Structure 1
Amino acid sequence: MKKFWSILLIMCSPFAISAQQRSLTDSVQYRVEMQATLSSGDHAPLWLNANKYGLSSLKTTNGYVRGAIERKLSADDGRKWGIGYGADVAVATGFTSTLVVQQAYVEGRWLKGTLTVGAKEYPMELKNQALSSGSQTLGINARPVPQVRLALPEYWTIPGTNNWLALKGHIAYGKTTDDGWQKDFVAPQNRYTEGTLYHSKAGYLKIGPGNFTAELGLEMACQFGGTSHLFENGVEKVYDNDGGLKAFKNAFIPGGTDATDGNFKNAEGNQLGSWVARFSYDQPTWNLAVYADQFFEDNSMMFHVNKSGDKYFWYDFKDWLLGAELKLKDNAWLNNIVVEYLYTKYQAGPVYHDKTSHVGYQISGRDNYYNHHLYTGWQHWGQVMGNPLYVSPLYNADGHIEVEHNRFVAWHLGFSGSPIQQLNYRVLASWQKSYGSYYYLPVNPMENVSCMAEADYMLKDGWSIKGAVAADFGKLRGDNFGFHLSIVKTGLIK
């Protein structure tokens, strides 16, 4: 009898293992975190606040308790399909809201394609997550936007190319969640929006299977729909923007026109994007990469040419984020170095002129990066959704939801290492000189230096402790000094 049960157990074990593998409650990870930030000055220093997916604050004293569970799609690796989900909630003090639902999503995978519904933190593409100053279009500086996202998240090799060509990308539509914050933050008779819809898309092509690879891509985004509240000569004007199927099409393929355009037509919504590229050379002990991110707000800087009548206007290639990254594979003390240069002063030039009956040519300049005449610009909950060196609206003491400093020159340095197995560190330092914007001109250019040193020590049983000290110096963000401390516990729910 004992032998019978042993044989039966052996026969049934593959089905038991299969059933266990297909359980949606296996491989669920948890994370609990407590963080506190203390600062002196007008604000928390830049690098204690920036590039944290908006789960941060400019208040000099702030903190949160955070809990999250996640089942990654990788739990179903080896099968044609996969299921993932996550929930990430924080209770905060000194933030734009006390209860923060940072992430809440479900997603499915079939072969290489994924469909995600909800709010999820997505990493930057073609840049170092920890050391870069940030992407100019699809950054990691603001809270995630709830969306429906269809993606090819990992490179898929195109058949018949002998592994020389591979593609990845995504298409997403969503809706912003900061209506209440806008009403609380904005000063009387300053514009705000409600129910703004969101669209993003990106495609990347990878060339080369060997030591040298090239990655080329296009990232685009749009804010559209919703209701805009504008004030003209003290009188409020409300515009109900189109949110129908035609508006979704115009967000995907820029077209249409806004309610406030009048005789001077522009593409519907706040359209923006970046051309991105990364070139890497890999060796056994090191890897060197150079990359570029060229931002644009309209056709003039997207294609660098504008045709008006029988005239062509050519635009310079001045505005760039240019970077280099060196990985030292055998050097634990210093294993990664990133250097970046940003120039955003040009913005298609200082002249804008619409075509009229008297002047038959249109000159498209003064692009006013991250701002828009109808929407509150490329921001969510007061934080820019791109690179945080563009000064976020949260810094504005006058209650304007606007990026007032978008014309600047900056240098950024980041490096990291792991002196011992349990210890990781990173250092960030940025210098920036701002010229305001074409519509906001400070009396003199405003400079700023921001730096941070951070260390993360892994303890036993999934515990870790992280500490950082940071400072700002200069007129742009003020003289600020602060530190933060976080304690984290991670593990697997059995």
Structure 2
Amino acid sequence: MACMYAQKRVSQRVFDAMKALRFTGGLTKFLLSFLLTNAYFNAEAQNQHWSPSAELGSYIGTSSIAPFWLRSNQFGTVPLTMPSLTGRVGLTYESQIYADTIRKSKHARIQWGAGVETVFNLGRGNEKVLLPEAYIKVRWKKLEFWGGRRKQILGIVDTTLSTGSFTWSGNAMPVPKIQLGFPDYVPLKFLRNYVSLKGFFSHGWFNVPYIQGAYLHQKTLHGKFGKPGGKFNMQVGVVHSVTWGGHADYLIGSPLAVDGHLTDNFGDFLWGVVIGKIPKAYQNKRFTNFDGENRVGNHVGQYDLAFEYQLKTSKLLLYHNHPFEDGSGLQLQNIPDGLYGLSWKRAASSKSFIEVRGVLLEYLFSKDQSGAGFDLTNSHFKGNDNYFDHAQYKEGWSYFGKGMGTPFIQPNSEIKSKYWGEFFPDNRVVVYHVGLEGTAARSIQWRTKLSYSSNFGTNNRPFNPTAKQFSYLLMVDAPIFKWGNTRLVTKLAFDKGDLLPSSLAGYIGFRSTAWGKWR
């Protein structure tokens, strides 16, 4: 009885909090459904934890255009035209129950969770309310299933200082999907834990305006090799993502589709999307010779390779993302394309007033693309990979106008109009990048990014002359109130060069992450 009373009391507090935050009706229904389910099943609950967060801030700059590093890799929440006012409210929940309430074995615990974040942007014609996160998850031992929108970065990179994983960087809004897999490495006991694996399989929905009924297929598999508890390990893996299916008016009468429709047949999905095989038929009632010569769907993927070494108080990570979009990339015909990074991170200490806790050097190269020509004589070796662009999906590897991969391959809307071409008019780039982060006076956090790029356009439409670009960011995050762990967040960024409009802008805001925590 006491446990059920506590459940009702917690549920009442959550309901009152949601009314105070004025969530949208759909979002309130989402959370209430989860709460009611949880209250019913969680009579034997352990370790409940609610974590609210909020931020309110404003942008100011020399122009209305947001500099590159203010808007990139922000999960699509910072628009190109800076809003005058922005804010966000978030709430996450973590709990666990016993699958076996009699034995109460720690190995039988089922973990539940949910998260939601609402972002609003006001002013300068950008009045929008966004929902970058809204998900429910359940986890048993190492296996996790979740559904909804959830922030993810796929591939091996330095997640705080990187330019972003080559194919899934967190640059665009998360795609709604359902996912089943192992998010953390699982040691293989029969190999004495020298090998660990992680990965997932997911299905998503591209609810974008330009095409209806398109889907996302995504899967990953990564392995870690090394002595348990040892100083050195190697990681290898693959990330495979596919846009498939859908219908659109612009495809009607086109040789790229059948009556404006791209196949969503389950057999074509298994053979062409999941396995990635070229169809046995050259064309049929479901697809045209475009799919017969290539593969069903827009395939975008990367191989990952990384080496990690643990020092006494710090860690080194050397990594590489190698992209592929067809047989040539799969067969490594586009070497040396990809992202290369060397990251150094160290644990906190209190010896210095200003501390550097992380340094990153990165190099991004995407000029090779398996050669400038497209070869159909051998189905395993193509060419002119034309990263992120696609003939059937006219907005390519994007979601609501934002590229989903590295932010240095930008759509027309983000660069000067004289360079416009295909949806992604500049996918042959060379980038040098430096990132640093640390603390000052123990509690002040800072981070900076400096990037210099040479932009060559595409093989079909090269830039002449090459466009050079420099982008910079400085972030400082400092505590100002103990209540709610309230911190002052400041950012300064600028762009100077040929590709992007020159812009100098700043952001100032207040973030709270601990007010009203319930446990």
Instruction: Kindly state the Cα deviation for residue 75 of structure 1 after the two structures are TM-superposed.
Output: 9.7
Give 2:502's aligned amino acid.
D
Give 1:251's aligned amino acid.
V
Match of 2:413 among 394, 397, 404: 394
Q: Which residue pairs with 2:373 in the alignment?
A: 351
Residues 260 and 374 in structure 1, CA contact (< 8 A), matched pair in contact too: no
Per-residue deviation, residues 405-443 of structure 1 (Å, max 9, x unmatched): 100111011000012232110000100000001122222
Matched, 1:326 2:344: yes
Q: Which residue pairs with 2:198 in the alignment?
A: 168
Match of 1:126 among 147, 151, 156: 156
Q: Which residue pairs with 1:201 in the alignment?
A: 219
Match of 1:46 among 68, 79, 83: 68
Query: Map of 1:102-113 to 2, 5 A cutoff?
Result: 102-113=132-143
- C-alpha distance in 2 between matches for 1:138 and 1:423: 30
SS at match of 2:488: strand
Match of 2:402 among 383, 389, 395: 383
Instruction: Kindly state the Cα deviation for residue 229 of structure 1 after the two structures are TM-superposed.
Output: 3.9
- C-alpha distance in 2 between matches for 1:75 and 1:396: 51
Residues 206 and 214 in structure 2, CA contact (< 8 A), matched pair in contact too: yes
- C-alpha distance in 1 between matches for 2:380 and 2:231: 47
Instruction: Kindly state the Cα deviation for residue 288 of structure 1 after the two structures are TM-superposed.
Output: 1.5
Cα 1:135–1:96 change in 2 (3 A) is farther
Q: Which residue pairs with 1:226 in the alignment?
A: 246
Residues 421 and 461 in structure 2, CA contact (< 8 A), matched pair in contact too: no
- C-alpha distance in 2 between matches for 1:129 and 1:90: 22
Q: Which residue pairs with 2:328 in the alignment?
A: 300
Cα 1:236–1:411 change in 2 (3 A) is closer
Matched, 1:406 2:427: yes
Matched, 1:214 2:234: yes
Cα 1:234–1:95 change in 2 (3 A) is farther
Cα 1:196–1:286 change in 2 (3 A) is same
Structure 1: gaps (5+ residues): 1-8, 14-18, 180-191, 305-314
Residues 335 and 370 in structure 2, CA contact (< 8 A), matched pair in contact too: no
Instruction: Kindly state the Cα deviation for residue 111 of structure 1 after the two structures are TM-superposed.
Output: 1.1
Match of 1:372 among 368, 390, 397: 390
Per-residue deviation, residues 200-232 of structure 1 (Å, max 9, x unmatched): 111110011210111111011000011144379
Give 2:408's aligned amino acid.
L
- C-alpha distance in 1 between matches for 2:314 and 2:263: 52
Matched, 1:29 2:51: yes
Residues 48 and 94 in structure 2, CA contact (< 8 A), matched pair in contact too: no
- C-alpha distance in 1 between matches for 2:334 and 2:175: 33
Instruction: Kindly state the Cα deviation for residue 362 of structure 1 after the two structures are TM-superposed.
Output: 8.4
Cα 1:45–1:75 change in 2 (3 A) is farther
Instruction: Kindly state the Cα deviation for residue 170 of structure 1 after the two structures are TM-superposed.
Output: 1.0
Instruction: Kindly state the Cα deviation for residue 127 of structure 1 after the two structures are TM-superposed.
Output: 1.6
Cα 1:289–1:231 change in 2 (3 A) is same
- C-alpha distance in 1 between matches for 2:184 and 2:114: 18
- C-alpha distance in 2 between matches for 1:34 and 1:41: 21
Matched, 1:466 2:466: no
- C-alpha distance in 2 between matches for 1:22 and 1:102: 32
Per-residue deviation, residues 267-308 of structure 1 (Å, max 9, x unmatched): 10000100111101111122212110111111111113xxxx
Question: Between Structure 1 and Structure 2, which shows a larger proportion of helix residues?
Answer: 2
Cα 1:111–1:361 change in 2 (3 A) is closer
Residues 127 and 135 in structure 1, CA contact (< 8 A), matched pair in contact too: yes
Instruction: Kindly state the Cα deviation for residue 39 of structure 1 after the two structures are TM-superposed.
Output: 2.5
Q: Which moved more, 1:345-354 or 1:239-248?
A: 239-248
Match of 1:480 among 495, 498, 503: 503
Q: Which residue pairs with 2:306 in the alignment?
A: 278
Instruction: Kindly state the Cα deviation for residue 333 of structure 1 after the two structures are TM-superposed.
Output: 1.0
Instruction: Kindly state the Cα deviation for residue 465 of structure 1 after the two structures are TM-superposed.
Output: 1.6
Give 1:218's aligned amino acid.
V
Q: Which residue pairs with 2:111 in the alignment?
A: 82
Residues 42 and 479 in structure 1, CA contact (< 8 A), matched pair in contact too: no
Larger relative contact order (CA 8 Å, sep ≥ 6): 1
SS at match of 2:289: coil
Q: Which residue pairs with 1:450 in the alignment?
A: 471
Match of 2:315 among 287, 291, 304: 287
Give 1:84's aligned amino acid.
G
Residues 454 and 469 in structure 1, CA contact (< 8 A), matched pair in contact too: yes
Q: Which moved more, 1:438-447 or 1:35-44?
A: 35-44
Per-residue deviation, residues 218-264 of structure 1 (Å, max 9, x unmatched): 01100001114437999998621122322432321113558453596
- C-alpha distance in 1 between matches for 2:318 and 2:43: 41
Cα 1:152–1:441 change in 2 (3 A) is same
Cα 1:44–1:116 change in 2 (3 A) is same
Residues 44 and 57 in structure 1, CA contact (< 8 A), matched pair in contact too: yes
Instruction: Kindly state the Cα deviation for residue 73 of structure 1 after the two structures are TM-superposed.
Output: 6.1
- C-alpha distance in 2 between matches for 1:392 and 1:49: 14
Q: How many residues of Structure 1 are paired with residues of Structure 2 in the alignment?
A: 457
Considering only aligned residues, what root-mean-square deviation do their CA atoms show, in Å? 3.3
Match of 2:120 among 68, 73, 91: 91
Give 1:430's aligned amino acid.
S
Cα 1:232–1:172 change in 2 (3 A) is closer
Per-residue deviation, residues 145-168 of structure 1 (Å, max 9, x unmatched): 000101201110001222211011
SS at match of 2:250: strand
Give the structure-2-normalised TM-score.
Answer: 0.81
Give the structure-1-normalised TM-score.
Answer: 0.84
Cα 1:231–1:172 change in 2 (3 A) is closer
Q: Which moved more, 1:295-304 or 1:444-453?
A: 295-304
Instruction: Kindly state the Cα deviation for residue 489 of structure 1 after the two structures are TM-superposed.
Output: 1.5
Per-residue deviation, residues 2-59 of structure 1 (Å, max 9, x unmatched): xxxxxxx9xxx9xxxxx98855993111111113222224621110000111111110
Instruction: Kindly state the Cα deviation for residue 389 of structure 1 after the two structures are TM-superposed.
Output: 0.9
SS at match of 1:160: helix
Residues 148 and 177 in structure 2, CA contact (< 8 A), matched pair in contact too: yes
Identity of aligned residues (%): 23
Residues 46 and 472 in structure 1, CA contact (< 8 A), matched pair in contact too: yes
- C-alpha distance in 1 between matches for 2:467 and 2:260: 36
